[in-house]
């Protein structure tokens, strides 16, 4: 619901709208009715134009992809008209002077009357429809400002941070080297051969040979060119069996052979970087952005939920 997305979509439609469809039958076709408001195919096409890059209209778009985008566009239009109806029920209005001011800005963006009129034609909009859409955009912005926007003070952010400190930690990381011996699925004896090779590599390491040297000779992973060095990783970055083995090792230790569906691994834990508590200043900007988005999404969903309770929505 940011201004760049919500407000002045009338301008975005003129600049990015789908190529005009001159088929009047298609243009007047009703695709859905939201509490009596008829959404036409031409309005749906304009919304598709906002969701899909304009260049797509000049290239091959599969029927499946177009159908998927149209479905998303129709959902957006449904939400839009439910919100507009809500705003009108709440008595929000936009003065004519404000509509004229915003229209002037849009006209100036086009540079000339001719360019503006070409934009209307390209977007399949009459001037009257354009003005109605502009007023709708401004009404949506007013609704956002009044009931959806979430403005958080520094005290709000500090309170949330103090109550949720556990969420703001840089996770523990470990520095590992690996040896990966691939199991060739096309070879009936692939598992047997891979296991034998992995056990041979582990035996040499236990006998004192350097892990990095063995990795460069035995490993099938690209990391072999760096002696099996994977750098620092945290939980969730490795396949589960390898991760489980790695995080149970002590610094300097080497695992036993670990089997996975892909083959066999040997892991060496070289270093540990413990979890670090991030300070408020380090997370403040990200926290503000995330909480604002979360709160605004909640506010928006509450309005839509209340509107859908008694809504009559029919898809054609």
> Which residues in the chain show pLDDT less than 50?
1-8, 17-20, 22, 24-25, 55, 58
Fold of 3-153+289-315: Triger factor/SurA peptide-binding fold (1.10.4030)
**Which residue shows structure tokens 């906002």?**
50
**Which residue shows structure tokens 């040499």?**
204
Say if CB 82 and CB 308 are below 8 A apart.
yes
DSSP state of 25: H
Percentages helix, strand, coil for the chain, rounded to the nearest 5? 60, 15, 25
Domain ranges of the chain: 3-153+289-315, 169-276
pLDDT per residue as tens digits for the range 10-29 = 555 555 544 445 454 455 79
What CATH number was assigned to the domain covering residues 169-276?
3.10.50.40
Q: What is the pLDDT of residue 3?
A: 42
pLDDT per residue as tens digits for the range 179-209 = 999 999 999 999 999 999 999 999 999 999 9
| Residue 64 tokens, joined | 């499946």
Q: What is the pLDDT of residue 217?
A: 96
Q: What is the pTM of this model?
A: 0.71
């Amino acid at each position: 619901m940011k201004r760049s997305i919500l407000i002045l979509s009338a301008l975005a439609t003129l600049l990015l709208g789908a190529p005009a469809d001159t088929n009047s039958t298609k243009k007047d076709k009703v695709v859905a009715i939201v509490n009596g408001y008829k959404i036409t195919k031409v309005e749906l096409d304009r919304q598709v134009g906002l969701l899909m890059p304009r260049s797509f209209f000049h290239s091959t778009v599969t029927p499946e992809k177009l159908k998927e985008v149209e479905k998303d566009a129709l959902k957006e239009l449904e939400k839009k008209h439910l919100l507009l109806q809500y705003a009108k029920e709440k008595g929000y209005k936009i003065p004519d002077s404000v509509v004229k001011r915003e229209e002037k800005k849009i006209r100036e963006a086009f540079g000339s009357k001719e360019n503006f009129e070409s934009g209307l034609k390209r977007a399949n909009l009459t001037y009257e429809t354009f003005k109605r859409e502009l007023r709708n955009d401004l009404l949506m912005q007013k609704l956002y400002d009044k009931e959806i926007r979430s403005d958080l003070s520094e005290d709000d952010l500090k309170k949330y941070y103090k109550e949720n400190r556990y969420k703001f930690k840089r996770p523990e990381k470990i520095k590992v080297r690996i040896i990966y011996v691939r199991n060739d699925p096309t070879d009936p004896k692939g598992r047997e051969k891979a296991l034998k090779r992995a056990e041979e590599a582990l035996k040499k390491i236990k006998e004192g040979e350097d892990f990095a040297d063995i990795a460069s000779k035995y490993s099938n992973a690209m990391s072999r060119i760096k002696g099996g060095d994977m750098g620092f990783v945290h939980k969730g970055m490795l396949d589960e069996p390898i991760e489980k083995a790695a995080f149970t090792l002590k610094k300097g230790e080497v695992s036993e052979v670990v089997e996975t569906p892909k083959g066999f691994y040997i892991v060496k834990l070289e270093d540990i970087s413990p979890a670090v508590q991030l300070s408020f200043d380090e997370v403040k900007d990200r926290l503000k952005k995330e909480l604002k988005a979360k709160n605004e999404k909640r506010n928006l969903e509450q309005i839509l939920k209340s509107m859908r309770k008694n809504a009559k929505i029919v898809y054609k």
